[in-house]
Structure 1
Amino acid sequence: MRRKHRKLTSSAELDITPFMNLMIVLVPVLLLGMVFSQIRMIELNFPGMEAGQAPDADELQLVVTLVPQGIEVIDSKRGVIRSLPLREGQQNYEELRHTLRQIKKRLPDKTDIVLEVSPDVGYQTLVKTMDTLRSYPAVVAASVVEGELFPDVSLSDAAENRVLAGLKGQKEGA
């Protein structure tokens, strides 16, 4: 004799309410977090020439040297244009911006500049200096816009024992 077994089927209900509650909270939080995680990129150029190539004698090479003691603006023809030592423990960005604006008035077509950086300079100082070299805040028609200074910034290493021109005499005399 054969027995017929009935399979008991029970329909189990799936409770997805906790999962839906989690999604309702998680999705807006993730969407809001995306706005704050933007990455800003800075385009860099590296100075250099082909082997055996000499620079033109008439071409101006504008160099800004960033060392822990301050900032120095140098012209390839005339040497040091301006030496800006630290002011109250901070780099003097206002005077650097003023000096670069004066140079830009004389050479409006020049867009390139070399930034020599000492190994002892911090990252935030480097980025702030690069931003200062690229542009300045200008007021046009009652709104603040960014005026262009030297947007093509090339990076170079400064000598490890580099001292500002204004501080060389003080250091030797001490």
Structure 2
Amino acid sequence: MARKKYKKPLPEAELDVTSFMNLMVVLIPFLLATAVFSQVSIQELNLPSGSGGEVADKPKVTIEIMVRKDALEISNGKVITDRFANKEGDYDLSALTAELRALKEKYPEKEDVTVLLEPNIEYNDMIAVMDTVKIYRQEQEDAPPVSEVLFPDISIGDAP
């Protein structure tokens, strides 16, 4: 008669998670303390609405700023009125500011402007132009800087 072999049941192993828990207790506060909290800056834009009618209170003047690779152009929606070529590889934001201030004096009730961008324009250049269009800041010696709101409502699009 053949003998039957019985295997001894293996003892159940207990999982020791104490060292893992100790690691987590130290690691989580360390990660939270050393995390870099980034600041999110939001650029507020007003996109064109789908309605075709215009509000009677708003001026019927159109101001478009076209950001091209080699220049900045100001248009009235039909023709280009001003062109500012790049100086030493950078956009001529001071000339743009001067022209925008003149337009603001001419049309003080005008609040909106359209910024049209060519493809492959750097993000930093777009934000610099938008900041220039929104607010004029003049640094003065021995006095706080003077700020003037130009055109706070900005719409963006593709340049023709």
TM norm structure 1: 0.65
| Residue of structure 2 in register with 1:151 after alignment | 152
Q: Is 1:61 equivalent to 2:62 in the alignment?
A: yes
| Residue of structure 1 in register with 2:101 after alignment | 101
Displacement of 1:80 in angstroms is 2.6
Distance 1:65 1:48, change over 3 A: farther
| Residue of structure 2 in register with 1:72 after alignment | 73
Alignment of 1:78-117 (within 5 A): 79-117=79-117
| Residue of structure 1 in register with 2:12 after alignment | none
CA shift digits 1:135-173 (9 cap, x unpaired): 1113589212532110100011112xxxxxxxxxxxxxx
Tell me the number of residue pairs that the alignment of Structure 1 and Structure 2 aligns. 139
Displacement of 1:120 in angstroms is 2.6
Partners of 1:23 and 1:155 lie apart in 2 by 43
Displacement of 1:23 in angstroms is 7.1
* Counterpart amino acid of residue 34 in structure 2: V
Partners of 2:147 and 2:96 lie apart in 1 by 16
Give identity over the alignment, percent: 24
CA shift digits 1:13-47 (9 cap, x unpaired): x99998887677655433xx32xx10001111223
Structure with higher helix content: 1
* Counterpart amino acid of residue 153 in structure 1: I
Distance 1:122 1:17, change over 3 A: closer
| Residue of structure 1 in register with 2:47 after alignment | 46
List runs of 5+ in structure 1 lacking aligned partners: 1-13, 160-174
Distance 1:88 1:139, change over 3 A: closer
Partners of 1:46 and 1:17 lie apart in 2 by 53
TM norm structure 2: 0.70
State the Cα RMSD in Å.
3.0
| Residue of structure 2 in register with 1:129 after alignment | 129
Q: Is the 8 A contact 1:113 1:154 kept in 2?
A: yes
Partners of 2:22 and 2:148 lie apart in 1 by 55
Secondary structure at 1:143 match in 2: coil
